[in-house]
Structure 1
Amino acid sequence: MPLADPLDERLRHAMRRVLLATLPGALASMWVFGWGVLLNLMLSGLTALAIEALVLRLRRRSLEPDLRDGSALVSATLLALALPAYCPWWLTVTAVACALLLGKHVWGGVGSNPFNPAMLGYALVLVAFPQHMSQWPAAHGLGLADGLRLVADIGQPPDGWAGATALDSLRINTSLTIDELFASDPAFGRWGGHGVEWVSLAFLLGGLFLLQQRVFTWHAPVGMLASLFTISLLFWNGSGSDSHGSPLFHLLTGATMLGAFFIVTEPVSGARAPLARLLFGAGVGLLVYLIRTWGGFPDGVAFAVLLMNLAVPALERFVDARQRRPLT
């Protein structure tokens, strides 16, 4: 029997730890949004495994090492956690197919993708199906039967099952102060989005576990969070009706923590040199705030990551030139 490739073993081990680290965030998301999160995860995972097996067969490659490396399942899991709970089945399948086919295999498979596969799949369905991608369930979600009908895209959804997110409400607000929004709008919680703040803290917990396990370094997450905190602090004008939200609000709302610890740390499409990783994360944080505040979408993590993926070669050249520069 041939010995296992040490690189394959390290990849599988890292992917297993990433999946384990998503568990607190997934459980918190289920507590907030209900069964739809679990349905997303199951459908996304099965779709990813089926597509991965099909592509490997078409490429006449063995299923054993490639299907078991866990990369497809990790991309599917992150994508499922980013998609709105109870989104129709065809939306999830389309997002996963785009992520794996256009974000991974068209470039040659694992280790060759210039873009983050999960964020590419998310961005494509966000542009193609904006109405479905904006339907986030109200807190505590729906029962299993209603959730299955929504996912199966059968019949009419229950009245009032979906509502605006905190980022949506802040974006369209023109008259209420921040204090009034937090007091009157059910989308707002204590510090950020209602329930989402706890989901964010759960993803933070999983991210700290990955840092402790040295799955990735601190540079990209710290760069993103520090940049987002700084820019939101600079443009924060208190609780007036024209406020863009406090730094704490931006850290604990939307996909900030998921992005900081599970997306910008993707090793293939991200930067490699430590300083380049720091700049990569900082660029993502800056773009997230700009898109949330003045762009066309309420969050922006996916687009920020993809834009910074394009900048990775320039960042690497800048860092390399800086390191080669002679001391004077």
Structure 2
Amino acid sequence: MSSLKRVSSAPHIRDNTSTSDIMFDVLMALMPATIFGIYNFGYRALIVVLVSVLTCVASEAMYEYFTKKKITVGDYSAAVTGLLLGLNLVHTINIGFVIIGAMFAIIVVKQLYGGLGHNFMNPALAARCFMVVSFAGPMTNFVYDGVSSATPLTALKNGEEYDVMRMFLGTTGGTIGETSALALLLGGLYLIVKKIIDFRIPFFYIASLVVFVIVFGDKGFDPQYILGHICGGGLMIGAFFMATDYVTSPISKRGRVVYGILLGVLTAIFRIYGKSAEGVSFAIIFCNLLVPIIDKFCVPRAFGAK
């Protein structure tokens, strides 16, 4: 029996859904947040997003051309990375920084590790964290309606006033794509209905954060405080679009539940006890690194294996 082979968890059914089909659906799901972000922040947001997408696509094509690999930009994965990165940036950021971040995402995080399917962390999030460390000031210059101000999540952390309805609709300061919880929720539900993502990750991510905030937060069971944490910052875009990345999330259903709970707890810890009001990016990156361990302990044993 020691020679038994082990296989990954179900499903193993093959269908006609290709990588390009999946990535195209992700692009479509991000359109509500993208369109609203451009409407909310103006033409400068459009420029940031376009530069991010074009740089990611060009970086992938050039790297694969010079390393004599098959050009894979037609699978839209580089475009998805570029769009996610662009939506995670403020509209006031220097365009040169956008180019540096996009090249880092594709060349360093994705291609140097073997391309799509081999990167151990989400390229867009890794690039965002790299940019936060490298360009801290420009990355946190939140301007809304011509006025520089703190984000609603910062106001929530500091005990200041914040408007949950504005956070839900998106008429607040923040990064280009994170402000409208409504637009992101619509996109996330589209991906769940299309069975592009597993509902377990966003559900247990958000649910565990809510439980932690109620138990360890300052306000207890305060609906406005809870909704502020759900609608504020990068939770919605992170839960639906980045934590669910096929390559960097667990393969089993049980593993995805554990992964989602860890994400929620870590994000809540960073938000409540950390210096920064946000914690989504670093929580997802940290949990990406734990995925091999989660898979090891959560993947069902092969039938008959000891």
Change (3 A) 1:8 1:62: farther
The aligned amino acid for 1:293 is: I
Distance 1:198 1:61 in 2: 38
User: Deviation per CA, 1:45-99, whole angstroms, max 9, x where unpaired?
Assistant: 1111211111011110232xx1101101001100100111121101111111111
Q: Does 1:167 align with 2:153?
A: yes
Q: Which residue of 2 aligns with 1:97?
A: 103
Q: Does 1:132 align with 2:113?
A: no
Conserved? CA contact 2:109–2:119, under 8 Å: yes
Q: Does 1:190 align with 2:177?
A: no
Q: How many residues align?
A: 284
The aligned amino acid for 2:239 is: A
The aligned amino acid for 2:196 is: V
Q: Which residue of 2 aligns with 1:257?
A: 236
The aligned amino acid for 1:301 is: V
Higher relative contact order (CA 8 A, sep 6+): 2
In the superposition, the TM-score normalised over structure 2's length comes to 0.85
Q: Specify every segment of 5 or more residues in structure 2 that has no aligned partner in the other structure, as ranges.
A: 1-13, 173-177
Percent identity of paired positions between Structure 1 and Structure 2: 28
Change (3 A) 1:8 1:15: farther
Q: Does 1:113 align with 2:119?
A: yes
Q: Which residue of 1 aligns with 2:9?
A: none
DSSP 3-state at the match of 2:75: coil
Q: Which residue of 2 aligns with 1:223?
A: 204
DSSP 3-state at the match of 1:289: helix
Q: Which residue of 1 aligns with 2:55?
A: 47
Conserved? CA contact 1:52–1:67, under 8 Å: yes
More deviation in 224-233 or 7-16?
7-16
Distance 1:189 1:248 in 2: 7
Q: Which residue of 2 aligns with 1:153?
A: none
In the superposition, the TM-score normalised over structure 1's length comes to 0.80
- TM-fit CA distance, 1:236: 3.7
User: Deviation per CA, 1:240-288, whole angstroms, max 9, x where unpaired?
Assistant: xxx9x72111110011110011001100011111111111122111111
Distance 1:247 1:325 in 2: 43
Q: Specify every segment of 5 or more residues in structure 1 that has no aligned partner in the other structure, as ranges.
A: 1-5, 142-159, 183-187
Q: Which residue of 1 aligns with 2:91?
A: 85
Conserved? CA contact 2:179–2:232, under 8 Å: no
The aligned amino acid for 1:67 is: V
Q: Does 1:33 align with 2:41?
A: yes
Q: Does 1:283 align with 2:262?
A: yes
Q: Which residue of 2 aligns with 1:58?
A: 66
- TM-fit CA distance, 1:33: 2.1
Conserved? CA contact 1:191–1:249, under 8 Å: no
Say what the alpha-carbon RMSD is for the aligned residues.
Answer: 2.5
Distance 2:259 2:226 in 1: 20
Conserved? CA contact 2:142–2:150, under 8 Å: yes
Among 275, 279, 288, the alignment partner of 1:309 is 288
Distance 1:291 1:215 in 2: 29
Distance 1:122 1:237 in 2: 29
Distance 2:246 2:47 in 1: 28
User: Deviation per CA, 1:121-177, whole angstroms, max 9, x where unpaired?
Assistant: 0000001111111101214x5xxxxxxxxxxxxxxxxxx4x2211222333x3xxx5
Distance 1:297 1:113 in 2: 27
Distance 1:293 1:119 in 2: 21
Q: Does 1:273 align with 2:249?
A: no
Conserved? CA contact 1:224–1:284, under 8 Å: yes
Q: Which residue of 2 aligns with 1:292?
A: 271
Q: Does 1:19 align with 2:27?
A: yes
Distance 1:11 1:297 in 2: 36
User: Deviation per CA, 1:9-61, whole angstroms, max 9, x where unpaired?
Assistant: 61000000000000111122223222232111111111112111110111102
The aligned amino acid for 1:22 is: L
Q: Which residue of 2 aligns with 1:148?
A: none
